[in-house]
A and B are shown apart, each in its own frame.
Chain A
Amino acid sequence: MGRTDLQIRREDLDAILRDFEGKPSDLIPVLQAIQDQYGYIPREFVEPIAEGLHIFPSQVQGVMTFYAQFAMTPRGQNIVRVCRGTACHVRGGRGVLRVVRKTLGIEDGETSEDFKFTLETVACLGACALSPVMVVNKTYYGQMNPKRIETVLHAL
């Protein structure tokens, strides 16, 4: 996941495409595989993906930008998502976001200079019972407060 010295290698894409049949419907799994490897979809890959799946490059871009899960720029090793849904909001979600921003020194959607963190907000994480919620990579942290936030983030 996300490194500053990441090499964009066409062979990686070719290896991923080999696992699929070259159908338009392979697009999302292909994008997910690339993102798993690189942490984002390199711009240089858009046209080769289109060629491999027999679709237009603009269609690849359309799908990439439609789904929030796909990133078009390099991301940090850790993806921090703060819930901004209604339930979290009434229980202090805005404050959670403020503390995270301050702790990491980055704004929503940004990646830290050392590529250690990327901060995102999400409309709802579907774990309202634990609100306010924050997710780091694939781990959910519920009932957040400033102290817990710092503990979680400093442990990374």
Chain B
Amino acid sequence: MDVIAITLNGTLVSGRPGMTILELAQEVGVKIPTLCHDPSLKPVGACRVCLVEEEKSGRLLASCITPIAPGMVINTESATVIENRKIIVKLMLASHPESCILCEKGNRCQLRNLAAELGIGSLNYYPMPHFTGIQEVNPFIRRDLSKCILCSKCIRADQELVVVGALEYLHRGFDAKPATLFDGPLEASECTFCGTCVTMCPTGALFESGKPHLGTVATRTATICSYCGCGCNLFLETQEGRVVSAAPNPASDLNGKTLCVKGHYGFDYVHHPDRLRRPMIRKTGVLTEVDWDEALDFVAASLKNAHSQGGPEALAFLGSSKCTNEENYLFQKIARAIFGTNNIDNGARLYSGPSLDILPFGAMTNPLQDLEDSDVILVVGSNPPASHPVAGYRIKRGVHLNDARLIVIDPRKTELVPFATAWVPIRPGTDGLLINGLLRGLIERQAWDKEAVPESTPDLAALRDSLAPFDRRTVEEVTGCPASLFSRILDLLAAAKSPAIVYGHGITHQAAAQKTIRALLNLALLKGALAKRGGGIYPLDKESNGQGAWDMGAMPDRLPGYQALDDAEAVQRFADRWHRPVPRRVGRKVMQMIEGAEGGSIKAMYIMGENPVRTFPDGPRIEKALSALDFLVVQDLFLTETASLAHVVLPACSFAEKDGTFTNIERRVQRLRKAVEPPGQSRPDWEILCELATRLGYPMAYESVESILEEIAALAPSYGGILPAGVERRGLFWPCAQGAAKGTRRLSLEQWGPERATLLPVSMTVPERPGDDEFILVRGSSLYHLLGGTRSTRSARLSAMKSAGSLQMNPHDAEALNLQDGDSVRVFNTSAEVTSLLEINESLPKGMLSCPYFDRGPSGLFSLFSDRDGVNVCRVRVVKEN
């Protein structure tokens, strides 16, 4: 490789072609101050404080944008450099207001630090601060643009990192400022309040709203976000035992300097006054605070009682997609080793169960970062900018910066549609038919990856034959995808070298979820998209530790590490380690647990960190079923809708108050760290479980979460090499075999097992179309609340932004029904009848309605079991409320 030698501060150093002076200086440890530079953004050379002197020519160069050239003689500290740097900083200070004392940025202000370093005391310039501030009303971000130094970091972060486009310079010269379209407040713009601009701002021009502590914090703890399955790395900044702010932790390549609004500003539920502080037992019908001994003894006795009366099958355990791996592991261990039942499941069942049925381990095959390297990204039934924002950033970056082609298949005009080359506003529930049609088209055109799937493969012939009914005309008629659009998409897929396939709840909630995911898998196999950079399948369907809950065996048919109950060798290994026999009979999924509670075959249930009454469809049915139990114990942060039905409520710790590991949707196992002390007497779930097991006559004497992770590594081969010391340093991808140096970022086909890694014909049925006055109603993700919103609705800031549920409807439908935005409407079907407020939403197609998950109201309209339309999808009629 070419080497370019330059003289830097009198020393001969060498760099690579294309490097800037600043990059080389940083590499060899020479410090040059910067304000507008950030390694994650394209350099612009706006602030000029990084100027250096080229001694041969005497020119001053902005080192962040000047490439090195052979023979350059650079001085970063010459008298001219210092003099000019001082002038630049003084000029910035001259247009800056004198409000440092009250500034949120405090000692982290880079301008103030730079001035201090340069020893600038007085300015000698006429101060000309110009106030251009806007009074924002949003609960997250404030702008005081009089402190803006025009570094454009906010604009570049907005356009390059999160690709939202809310900000750009307005006007020029002295009037220039970063502004929204038509210079309105942020809340009237495209802004998603991810706060990346606030993180990037070198001064106090952008700052966090409603922060309980100004200035520098005492401590910051590196941990993992508690919301969606992206599992972003963040710092919790704490002061006097409280979390005062969150900031992205750029140490990981997962989220770099970005977060979303929930991760950045939604942590405040941790300090909500309604947090449970003491255990409670229902005494004469009323939940009464008791001490831990009494509560745990009562739980142990009641569970033992149910076990002795009804046998192991009378108990059911619901683990949590929000609790740590260690906690889910102990939870299933209690179910299996102590009570001898496989009646264990977790809350991710309804959202990601179908992925688990079809994909190996229900997991993503590739890291999210790969989305930026795809040439074609196919997004089906998913709105990542709302459900998994950091995955959304990757997709948009792929399109915006790397020129990937984006195909969106979704009835809704999602936030990705403006970035799409092609958008199919597909008829709800027909995605699988379209995919089969595309598969047929690709085979007809001979446009599959013949290296991955040789022409002679028998599976290919079988697939080809099975696709006969999916001709273009039929597909057009059924899915509503016009022939021209179909051809366009086929062209894109035919040309794709490493297509990425992304899907979400729009697919997993369909009646044909498994079939559709299988068709998508066929597409990935046919295009040879697996096990390669930029390709892969990306299910966006899980919460913070949804993947980990599955991995830990919080499911009725697999042991930790997806080991089958009929794998005698594995079962023996568990039995040896646990000193108890392992039940072999497949247990109940959560839906069957509810049925069992209704029918009386389930007598007692233990729910850890889940709120099915609120989060699951048909809340009223679940409420009734749980109320019929002889004994219900709920372990949670709040007195949730589910906890308020319990006989015993155990106060647990939030993510900020405990240690452990989470496994994100990429299969990356990451360390959660305790940042603050728990409120009242609440305890981490794992400690509660250990105490309880001991009282049940099965001592669990784990000293720390680390020793639990060691046990998991010893028993689950895919976690074999995931040990506390490794996870302490950085996230590790499983499978990671014992003794392996590193994990597996991309799953190879061998790791899939033969039945999943081969083409498989899938038949499809055409869903029955709704009647003339019927609508398809779906529960949808929202940016400000995660699923049922048990935690996010208790974040003061997220709730201030959005707290009321609504029924969203296309404007044409509203007009036809003579309805207006804000009208009160009655929504009904054979199951239930509810009242809601109408909200006009132009992104919905005609005939489709949407309500957010966090709104408990419409829950009764949906069926707990996937029926004709699926789960969280139903048919309703709407009339105006009189």
**Which residues of B sit under 8 angstroms from A57, Cβ to Cβ?**
165, 181
Docked-complex contact B168 and A62, CB < 8 angstroms: yes
**Which residues of A sit under 8 angstroms from B166, Cβ to Cβ?**
56, 58
Q: How far is the CA of A51 from the CA of B165 in the complex (A)?
A: 12
B800 interfacial contact with A, CB 8 Å: no
Contact residues of A between 136 and 156, Cβ < 8 Å to B: none
Q: How far is the CA of A81 from the CA of B851 in the complex (A)?
A: 56
Instruction: Contacts A43-B182, A46-B181 given; indicate if A59 touches B168 (C-beta within 8 A).
Output: yes
Docked-complex contact A51 and B418, CB < 8 angstroms: yes
**Which residues of A sit under 8 angstroms from B171, Cβ to Cβ?**
65-66
B149 interfacial contact with A, CB 8 Å: no
**Which residues of A sit under 8 angstroms from B189, Cβ to Cβ?**
58
B170 interfacial contact with A, CB 8 Å: yes
Query: In the complex, how many residue pairs between chain A and chain B have their CB atoms under 8 Å apart?
Result: 40
Instruction: Contacts A46-B181, A51-B418 given; indicate if A62 touches B165 (C-beta within 8 A).
Output: no
**Which residues of A sit under 8 angstroms from B167, Cβ to Cβ?**
58
| Nearest Cβ on chain A to B440's Cβ, whole angstroms | 31
Q: How far is the CA of A43 from the CA of B180 in the complex (A)?
A: 14
Which of B159, B165, B181 counts the most A-chain CB atoms under 10 A from its CB? B181
**In this complex, what residue of A is CB-closest to B171?**
A65
| Nearest Cβ on chain B to A24's Cβ, whole angstroms | 11
Docked-complex contact B418 and A61, CB < 8 angstroms: no
**Which residues of A sit under 8 angstroms from B169, Cβ to Cβ?**
62, 65-66
**Which residues of A sit under 8 angstroms from B179, Cβ to Cβ?**
58, 61
Instruction: Contacts A62-B170, A65-B170, A65-B171 given; indicate if A56 touches B182 (C-beta within 8 A).
Output: no
**In this complex, what residue of A is CB-closest to B189?**
A58
Q: How far is the CA of A56 from the CA of B178 in the complex (A)?
A: 14
Q: How far is the CA of A108 from the CA of B860 in the complex (A)?
A: 65
Contact residues of B between 612 and 671, Cβ < 8 Å to A: none
| Nearest Cβ on chain B to A123's Cβ, whole angstroms | 11
Contact residues of A between 47 and 66, Cβ < 8 Å to B: 47, 51, 55-59, 61-62, 65-66
Docked-complex contact B172 and A61, CB < 8 angstroms: no
| Nearest Cβ on chain A to B247's Cβ, whole angstroms | 25
Contact residues of A between 104 and 145, Cβ < 8 Å to B: none
Q: How far is the CA of A52 from the CA of B166 in the complex (A)?
A: 17
Docked-complex contact A58 and B418, CB < 8 angstroms: no
Contact residues of A between 29 and 49, Cβ < 8 Å to B: 43, 46-47
Which of A46, A58, A65 counts the most B-chain CB atoms under 10 A from its CB? A58
**In this complex, what residue of B is CB-closest to A56?**
B165
| Nearest Cβ on chain A to B806's Cβ, whole angstroms | 25
| Nearest Cβ on chain B to A96's Cβ, whole angstroms | 24
| Nearest Cβ on chain A to B460's Cβ, whole angstroms | 38
**Which residues of A sit under 8 angstroms from B159, Cβ to Cβ?**
56, 59
**Which residues of B sit under 8 angstroms from A43, Cβ to Cβ?**
182
- Chain A contact surface mostly: helix
Docked-complex contact B165 and A61, CB < 8 angstroms: no
Q: Tell me which of A46, A58, A65, A66 contacts B165 (CB under 8 A).
A: A58
**Which residues of A sit under 8 angstroms from B165, Cβ to Cβ?**
55-59
Q: How far is the CA of A66 from the CA of B175 in the complex (A)?
A: 10
Q: How far is the CA of A51 from the CA of B166 in the complex (A)?
A: 14
| Nearest Cβ on chain B to A12's Cβ, whole angstroms | 21
Q: How far is the CA of A23 from the CA of B370 in the complex (A)?
A: 26
Q: How far is the CA of A55 from the CA of B418 in the complex (A)?
A: 10
Q: Tell me which of A56, A58, A66 contacts B172 (CB under 8 A).
A: A66
**Which residues of A sit under 8 angstroms from B418, Cβ to Cβ?**
51
| Nearest Cβ on chain A to B407's Cβ, whole angstroms | 16
| Nearest Cβ on chain A to B112's Cβ, whole angstroms | 29
| Nearest Cβ on chain B to A127's Cβ, whole angstroms | 23
Q: How far is the CA of A56 from the CA of B400 in the complex (A)?
A: 11
Contact residues of B between 146 and 198, Cβ < 8 Å to A: 159, 165-172, 179-182, 189-190
Q: How far is the CA of A57 from the CA of B165 in the complex (A)?
A: 8
Q: How far is the CA of A66 from the CA of B169 in the complex (A)?
A: 8
**Which residues of B sit under 8 angstroms from A65, Cβ to Cβ?**
169-172
**In this complex, what residue of B is CB-closest to A43?**
B182
Contact residues of B between 414 and 444, Cβ < 8 Å to A: 418
Contact residues of B between 446 and 498, Cβ < 8 Å to A: none
**Which residues of B sit under 8 angstroms from A61, Cβ to Cβ?**
168, 170, 179, 181-182
**Which residues of B sit under 8 angstroms from A62, Cβ to Cβ?**
168-170
Q: How far is the CA of A46 from the CA of B181 in the complex (A)?
A: 9
Which of A55, A59, A62 counts the most B-chain CB atoms under 10 A from its CB? A62
**In this complex, what residue of B is CB-closest to A47?**
B181
**In this complex, what residue of A is CB-closest to B164?**
A56
| Nearest Cβ on chain B to A67's Cβ, whole angstroms | 8
Q: How far is the CA of A52 from the CA of B636 in the complex (A)?
A: 50
Q: How far is the CA of A56 from the CA of B182 in the complex (A)?
A: 13
Q: How far is the CA of A59 from the CA of B167 in the complex (A)?
A: 8
| Nearest Cβ on chain A to B792's Cβ, whole angstroms | 28
**In this complex, what residue of B is CB-closest to A65?**
B171
**Which residues of B sit under 8 angstroms from A66, Cβ to Cβ?**
169, 171-172
**Which residues of B sit under 8 angstroms from A51, Cβ to Cβ?**
418
Q: How far is the CA of A47 from the CA of B418 in the complex (A)?
A: 11
Q: How far is the CA of A47 from the CA of B180 in the complex (A)?
A: 13
**In this complex, what residue of B is CB-closest to A63?**
B168
Q: How far is the CA of A62 from the CA of B159 in the complex (A)?
A: 13
Q: How far is the CA of A55 from the CA of B181 in the complex (A)?
A: 13
**Which residues of A sit under 8 angstroms from B170, Cβ to Cβ?**
61-62, 65
| Nearest Cβ on chain A to B400's Cβ, whole angstroms | 9
Q: How far is the CA of A43 from the CA of B167 in the complex (A)?
A: 17
Q: How far is the CA of A58 from the CA of B191 in the complex (A)?
A: 11
Other CB < 8 Å A-B pairs besides A55-B165, A58-B168, 5 of them?
A46-B182, A56-B159, A56-B190, A59-B168, A61-B170
Q: List 11 A-B contacts (CB under 8 A).
A: A56-B165, A58-B167, A58-B189, A58-B190, A61-B179, A61-B181, A61-B182, A65-B171, A65-B172, A66-B171, A66-B172
The 3 A-B pairs with the shortest beta carbon distances in the complex, nearest first, are A56-B165, A58-B168, A62-B168
